[in-house]
Structure 1
């Protein structure tokens, strides 16, 4: 934990991948190493050594941090034992400083790293932005996090560092990652982004050999084109995100059978075939699927008979069209906790929820230009904690029955009409009259809404553009 700067917000998924790559964890059958890491993290939280910063609505840890005093103690002790050295000044890294260090964390700009082939450094992390380049010349290196440095080309010397388990970097050069990266037989995590000179994300061509790497567990890109390997795949792969135009054939998915997180997007005109085969990913828990339109509000119709894996907990879809009547496709998923429908087009203007669907849904996010009426009963959506409605300009109001859901905590509204905000306020006020003071609301009025004092209930005192929190009969501007 000492590698992070003061007051640094640590993403839990990132922290756990680092722990796994560093070899800090011992396997506990039948748990995965990520599950073991989560257990250790929860233990540190229970001991008040790590602070929770944010949780998801499904209860999972999202971000955490460490108290400055505890961090200072960790860094001091680690440097005494030559376990970790933190550089936070613009100084040259000399062999005398880091030769016998095992972990090196760099906060801020440094000068170019010289040749240090006799160094014992196992991990090198750049955790703050830097415009300077580095030479990667640490033969024992296991972890390289250089996402805060931009390489002009893919650093080919990486493929010689056979001990690498974790790579994260950004480069601006040629599109293709060399096939020789498959030489890194110990690699567990590969995070590669390609930036063009004017800041735009560039397409990254990935060699099919990547999916043959035996230890690889996490592959993260922004726009990566990944061909299906012609022979054996990877049974260890758990995360695959940022892949574009991926053909979900039975053959392709059969080579990554234990995938838990999948993020894919399809450009206009690409072959969006075989999505029905996603149901064969029995371990899949998180799915994000984006359809990029040719022009604004050009939506891709989803197949009526499209099915999803039964273990799915989080589902995000964007740029799609579906009938409200076919929302049962999502509602029938027995373990679904988070549903995000972004830039979604519905063929009908009325959504009527049904009994027995969305039994475990906790967070519902809808961004739709044509939703007008939402009808729900208090026994529907029995686990809902937060409905989030974004840019629903035709929606008239939130049904009062939403307030009767016992698990409800927050109503979030962004760029919705005043009548919707008023209905949310009424729900809160009604619940407070019944003794439920826990319900909160968040609202941001869009730029198209023209407000005057006469338009607002007497207790609402915010102005156009304010982000507000409805709490205890008042609206406070944040």
Structure 2
């Protein structure tokens, strides 16, 4: 595991030396030398993998490496914060604090020299204890045993519960090192917690666990990592997305216990509950399963080295007190999930000094105003404000050059103007934003050329569904969500050319829009949801009069609709495999099984017995099954 920790620091140093070299003025050369020393240490760690359980001397050296690695990361990150704060001062203040800056430079120089001495001690101890690089790898090859043999060996003279725990632990021990931090990360979640996979992946990327790839996006690499953990039975799939990807997952209690226990040894993460709320520690990652306001009063941890902070309690707490607490204790923070805080905009108003922040998430359903100071967080990759009633974004979003995912809520979230030559190349997700004239112009001008997922809202004045026909410039867009269809879509001409998944939510023109979308050549997944403002079911007509409609559609989901008409021409929907009906009523008959010959599964959620009986017509062939979830009401 420690080789992964060193790898993460090496990647962080490389990134700093490449993009923040100007902030290291005066110590850049020593940081580069330290980077070279870490490369040597990495080779030793690779050869010592698994040997620390056999030899206390190896374990002691690895603990030295862990401590010096974390110390070095703290020294460099803190120095960058201090430099930024100094440079943000006015010229007069910079002059008045010039002596302080000189002292700061001297201190960091001294700290780096001390770290180099500690690295020298590590190599001296390695030689003293005759730890030879390469010998453990050789020994492992000569003494290798299969997992099955090891399990059998560990069954001797132990109770059955111990056997289970040892087998579970062995699953972790045999896990390749690149997957271990991703697996241990599941320890941040409460017991039996249903985990949103897309949020999890964004966290992994922000933590630096997922390497960049020349061919695949980091998000796709992260999904492969998750699938590997699932394949090894370490993680359980809870639900899947329309496109078949994992939507939510869970971890077994025994495996979660391993994540927490293993993380303690490497100081990877710590969890605080009502039971251990006052326990001392120096966590790199801290997950609060107790009330956040109680922890602020009773917690005893040293947070000066904490990089990630998560709050999972659902009780609201005071935003202003929380902001003061953050500013005082978490200067090196990279990931922040504020949990259930009322007035989280007050927190974001004055955290511009937390310059290392890469990920921010809040679950606040109050009105939300952002100040432009948020754009001083130039390392930010994910800004997740879902659930809040967000108003216009202030000018300056173009400063967040590393931003990958921007999630918003509310019917009035709009984009500010972006200067002509400023482009957000890294932005993959923009959702949900009002599609008004200004937003369309930003999209047409190529301000977000690599956008993959777009969510738009037509509830506010000034929006028009016709603007969808001006998005052909979004060549990489594959997923689109449209909220409140208040006008009929006249044609698919001008829509993004590679769109494969569309979700429609509410509005009076769902029927007309859906029937037009049948002309999209690459559409494979379609979800239609009736409710948006009113609790009444939306009257819906599915009329595929063109035999060429929905030629590639594989999955059709309909929710909260009163389906008053459903007619399919012969040849329409020839590839449909999954039909999902959720809370719908049928005021009409549905097509027979001959109209949907490729259908393999029909899923029914919370619908009447009458609807279930009508859907039986679609599952007369042996290859199609009907699954009913929830009580079918009369």
Same fold, TM-score > 0.5, yes or no = yes
Count of residue correspondences = 425
Q: Secondary structure, in 3 states, of the residue corresponding to 1:360?
A: coil
Per-residue CA distance 1:77-127 (angstroms, 9 max, x = gap) = 111221111001166557xx233x211011121425379887100100112
* Counterpart for residue 315 of structure 1: 502
Contact 1:378 1:404 (8 Å CA) reproduced: no
Per-residue CA distance 1:58-87 (angstroms, 9 max, x = gap) = 211111111111110110111122111100
Residue among 232, 242, 251 paired with 1:57: 242
* Counterpart for residue 267 of structure 1: 459
* Counterpart for residue 410 of structure 1: 602
Q: Give runs of aligned pairs for residues 299-338 of structure 1, distance below 5 A.
A: 299-304=486-491, 306-318=493-505, 319-321=507-509, 329-338=516-525
Residue among 484, 504, 509 paired with 1:291: 484
Range that drifts further, 365-374 or 73-82: 365-374
Contact 2:515 2:543 (8 Å CA) reproduced: no
Question: Counterparts of 1:193 and 1:305 in 2: how far apart (Å)?
Answer: 29
Range that drifts further, 124-133 or 180-189: 124-133
Residue among 398, 412, 424 paired with 1:234: 424
Following superposition, the deviation at residue 161 of structure 1 comes to 0.4
Question: Counterparts of 1:350 and 1:175 in 2: how far apart (Å)?
Answer: 38
Residue among 70, 73, 93 paired with 2:255: 70
TM normalised by structure 2 equals: 0.61
Following superposition, the deviation at residue 368 of structure 1 comes to 5.2
Point out where structure 1 has 5 or more consecutive residues left out of the alignment.
196-201, 293-298, 446-461, 465-478
Q: Does 1:359 align with 2:551?
A: yes
Q: Give runs of aligned pairs for residues 426-445 of structure 1, distance below 5 A.
A: 426-428=617-619, 430-431=620-621, 435-436=622-623, 438-442=624-628
Per-residue CA distance 1:6-26 (angstroms, 9 max, x = gap) = 111111101100000001121
Following superposition, the deviation at residue 43 of structure 1 comes to 1.2
Q: Which has the higher helix share?
A: 2
With over 3 angstroms needed to count, the CA separation of the structure-2 counterparts of 1:416 and 1:284, relative to structure 1, is farther
Contact 1:121 1:140 (8 Å CA) reproduced: yes
Q: Secondary structure, in 3 states, of the residue corresponding to 1:287?
A: strand
Per-residue CA distance 1:13-60 (angstroms, 9 max, x = gap) = 011000000011211112211111111111111111111111123211
Contact 1:90 1:109 (8 Å CA) reproduced: no
Q: Does 1:113 align with 2:296?
A: yes
Q: Secondary structure, in 3 states, of the residue corresponding to 2:187?
A: coil
Contact 2:188 2:271 (8 Å CA) reproduced: yes
With over 3 angstroms needed to count, the CA separation of the structure-2 counterparts of 1:63 and 1:159, relative to structure 1, is same
Q: Give runs of aligned pairs for residues 399-478 of structure 1, distance below 5 A.
A: 399-401=591-593, 404-412=596-604, 418=610, 420-428=611-619, 430-431=620-621, 435-436=622-623, 438-442=624-628, 464=634
Residue among 447, 456, 459 paired with 1:255: 447
Question: Counterparts of 1:389 and 1:174 in 2: how far apart (Å)?
Answer: 31
Q: Secondary structure, in 3 states, of the residue corresponding to 2:226?
A: helix
Contact 1:245 1:265 (8 Å CA) reproduced: yes
Question: Counterparts of 1:381 and 1:346 in 2: how far apart (Å)?
Answer: 26
Q: Does 1:43 align with 2:228?
A: yes
* Counterpart for residue 380 of structure 2: 187
Q: Give runs of aligned pairs for residues 34-183 of structure 1, distance below 5 A.
A: 34-89=219-274, 97-99=280-282, 101-110=283-292, 111=294, 113=296, 119-133=304-318, 134=322, 135-136=325-326, 137-151=329-343, 153-155=345-347, 156-170=349-363, 175-183=368-376
Contact 1:175 1:205 (8 Å CA) reproduced: no
Contact 1:321 1:346 (8 Å CA) reproduced: no
Point out where structure 2 has 5 or more consecutive residues left out of the alignment.
1-185, 532-536
Q: Secondary structure, in 3 states, of the residue corresponding to 1:249?
A: helix
Q: Secondary structure, in 3 states, of the residue corresponding to 2:352?
A: helix
Per-residue CA distance 1:230-251 (angstroms, 9 max, x = gap) = 3313011011112235434244
Structure showing greater Rg: 2
Q: CA RMSD in A?
A: 3.2
Question: Counterparts of 2:200 and 2:361 in 1: how far apart (Å)?
Answer: 13
Q: Secondary structure, in 3 states, of the residue corresponding to 2:225?
A: helix
TM normalised by structure 1 equals: 0.79
Residue among 458, 466, 473 paired with 1:280: 473
* Counterpart for residue 475 of structure 1: none
